[in-house]
Amino acid sequence: MATRRSALSALASAAVLAAPLALAGCTAGSTAMVGTGPSTLAVGLTAEPQNFDFTTTDGAAIPQALLYNVYETLVKVDSDGEIVGGLAESWDVSNDRTVYDFQLREATFSNGEPFTASDVKFSIERVQQDWTISLKSGMDVVDRVEVVDDRHARVVLSRPSNSWLRAMTTRIGAMFDPAGVADLANDPVGTGPYDVESRRRGDSIVLTRNPEYSNPESPRPAPGYRTVVLKYYADATALNNALLSGGIDVISGVTAPDSLPQFEADNRFRVLQGTTNGEVVLAFNNRRAPLDDVRVRKALTYAIDRKALLEAAWGGRGELIGSMVPPTDPWFEDLSGEYPYDPDRARSLLREAGHESLRLDLRIANLPYAVSSAQVIASHLKKVGVTVDIEPLDFPAVWLQQVFTDADYDMSIVQHVEPQDITTFGDPDFYWGYDSDRVQRLLTEADTAPPREYIADMREVARTLSDDAAANWLFLFPNIVVAKNEVRGLQANQVSESFDLTGLRRQGTS
C-alpha cells in the first residue's frame, strides 16, 4: 500500500516527465567533452539526479539513470509490464506464497567482488534498516532472507503478497555489495553493465562499460555502447535542438508533443511512442462541497470531451483511460467509454444536484500538460454553466503544500507516475479525500488473495472508482522517444523506473 510519502515521491517525479519551462531562447547548452564515435551514445534527459543515492534521496531521476544500468535487480519488468529474470535466473514460489527461492546468475560487482546470495540478504535487510525513502515500505512484508548456498537465496514473507515481487523490480530490489556502500551518493557500485565514470553537475553523467563485461569469458553479453553520456536539459525546446544539431542521439522523453512533426518528417530520426505509468488526473476534492456529491462529479466527467482534450492539449498523443490503471497493469480493463462526452446529461445532473451554475477553482501544477489541459477543461465546463478559475501553482513546492498536503482545492491536475498508484484511493487522508469502505476493503483483500482473485479484486477497485467518478482520468501520458536511425534496441514503453540502456546498440553491430 502506498503511503502518503511514497505518493509524494511519485508526484515529485512527475516533474521529470514534464519539466517546467526554463528561460527562453536557450539553445543546446550541454558541453560535455567526451569522445564521440560509434561506441558512444549521448542520451538527452530532463531531470538531473541530485546525487547517486536513491536509498535516501526521493525522486525519479536517480533510478532513471542508474537502475538496470548500474544497479541490477533480481527481477525486472520488460516493456510489456511482465516480470522477467534479472540477477535471478529463475525463481519458485511456495504453495502458500510466502517463500521465494531465487536461483542466482553469475555476476560481478564493478569493484571486482562476486555477486552471491549473501549480497541478496545484505541488500534486502539494508532496505529495511538503512533506507529512508518512503518506497522502502514495499520491503516491510519480508520476514527474513536465508542464504541456502552462494547461488541460492530464499526470501520468506510474513504473509502472502501480490505486490512484493513487482516491488522488487523497482529501486528497492537493487543489489548492493557490502564493500560498495561507503559512498553511495558519489560512487555507486553495482553489477550492471555500466559504471559511473564522471559527472558534471547541471550538465551530464558519463557511464562506461563495466570492465567485467569486456572480459571475453564473461557469462553475460557486453552492452552495445562502450560509453553512454546522459545529458540533462531542463527545457523541452533545448532538448529538441540538441538532437537536431547532433549534440545527442536520443531524446528519452519528449514533453513538447506538438514539436514532433519536425522529427517525423526528417528521415534521420525515428519516433517511438508507447505507454507509461503516468495517469494525468483531474482530481476532484471528494470531501468538499459541491464535489462531495457524486452527481456533480459525474456531471463534470460527462462535460469534458477527453478525446478533444487529448487532441488539443497533447497533440493527440497518449491514451484514453477510464480509471487509475495503465494498460500495462495486469488488471487493466478499458473503461474509457464509461463517460461519453454528453453536455446535456451533465447539465441535467447538475440541475438535479441543485446547481444551475457553479464556480470552481482549478489549482494545477504549473507544468505544460496541466496548463494545456486546464484551458480545455475551462472551455468545456463553461458550456455546462461551470465557471473555472485556473490557478497555476509552482510545482513542486507550492502545489504540494496547497493541494497535496492541505487539500485546499476544488479540482487539480497532476500526473501520477508511481506504478500501481491505484492504491492511493484506499487512503482516505490522501488529497483525493476519497473515503470508500468498499475500495479500502477490496485493496486490503487483494494483496493477500490468490493471484486470480487479486486480479479480479483490483479490477473491481478500478471499476468502483470509475462508477463513483472519484476523479476524472484525462489521459495516460505517452512515452515519446526520438532517436537517430542508427540507434537500435529502444523500448517504446516506459513502465519501469529505469531508462534501460542495456539493450541499446548501434545499427550494424551485434
Please name the residue ranges forming H helices in 168-285. 211-214, 236-244, 261-264
Nearer to other proteins, 124 or 414 (CB): 414
Minimum CB distance to other proteins, residue 398 (Å): 7
Report which DSSP code applies to 137: G
SS3 175: coil
* Of 201, 215, 196, residue with least CA distance to 67: 196
Question: Which one, 360 or 470, has the nearer CB to other proteins?
Answer: 360
In contact, 422 and 447? CB cutoff 8 Å: no
| Residue (47 or 388) nearer to other proteins, CB | 388
Residue with smaller CB distance to other proteins, 290 or 315: 315
- We find the least distance from the C-beta atom of residue 178 to other proteins, in angstroms, to be 44
Smallest gap from Cβ 338 to other proteins, in A, equals 21
User: C-beta of 21: minimal distance to other proteins in Å?
Assistant: 6
Residue with smaller CB distance to other proteins, 312 or 353: 312
Cβ atoms within 10 Å of 387's Cβ, excluding its own: 12
CA angle in degrees (0–180, nearest 5) for 37-215-91:
110
Minimum distance of other proteins from residue 359's CB (angstroms): 15
Q: Residue 406 CA to chain centroid, in angstroms?
A: 24
Instruction: Cite the beta strand spans of 223-337 per DSSP E.
Output: 227-232, 250-251, 269-284
Residues 414, 281 contacting (CB under 8 angstroms): yes
Interface residues with other proteins (CB under 8 A) are 20-21, 23-24, 236-237, 240, 256, 258-259, 261-262, 305, 307-309, 311-313, 315, 366, 371-372, 374-376, 378-380, 382, 390-394, 398
CA distance from start to end of the chain: 42
DSSP code of residue 353: T
Q: What is the DSSP letter of 494?
A: B
Q: Which is nearer to other proteins, 34 or 312 (CB)?
A: 312
Longest dimension (CA), the chain: 75
Q: Using an 8 Å Cβ cutoff, are 238 and 22 in contact?
A: yes
Sequence-distant (≥ 6) Cβ neighbours of residue 90 within 8 angstroms: 102, 103
- The nearer residue to other proteins, 62 or 309, going by C-beta atoms, is 309
DSSP, res 434: -
- Chain centre to alpha carbon of residue 169: 12
**Residue with Cβ nearer other proteins (98 or 366):** 366
Residue 51 Cβ vs other proteins, minimum distance, rounded to whole Å = 25
Residue with cell 527545457: 235
Distance in Å, CB of 145 to other proteins, minimum? 47
Q: For strands 40-45 and 227-232, give the pairing.
A: parallel
Say which residue the cell 520491503 belongs to.
139
* Helices within 92-160 (DSSP H only): 117-129
| The C-alpha cell that represents 337 in the structure block | 467509454
Q: 429 and 4 in contact (C-beta within 8 Å)? A: yes
Q: Which is nearer to other proteins, 339 or 425 (CB)?
A: 339
Of the pair 258, 406, the CB lying nearest other proteins is at 258
CB of 42 to other proteins, least distance (A): 21
Minimum distance between the CB of residue 477 and other proteins, rounded to whole angstroms? 16
Q: Is the CB of 74 or the CB of 300 nearer to other proteins? A: 300
In the complex, least distance from residue 270 CB atom to other proteins, rounded to whole angstroms: 17
What are the grid coordinates assigned to 222, written together?
557486453
- What whole-number distance in Å separates Cα of residue 377 and Cα of residue 393? 17
Q: Between 185 and 320, whose beta carbon lies closer to other proteins?
A: 320
What kind and span of H or E run contains 124? helix 117-129
Q: How far is the CB of 273 from other proteins (least distance, A)?
A: 17
CB of 236 to other proteins, least distance (A): 6
CA angle in degrees (0–180, nearest 5) for 374-316-320: 75
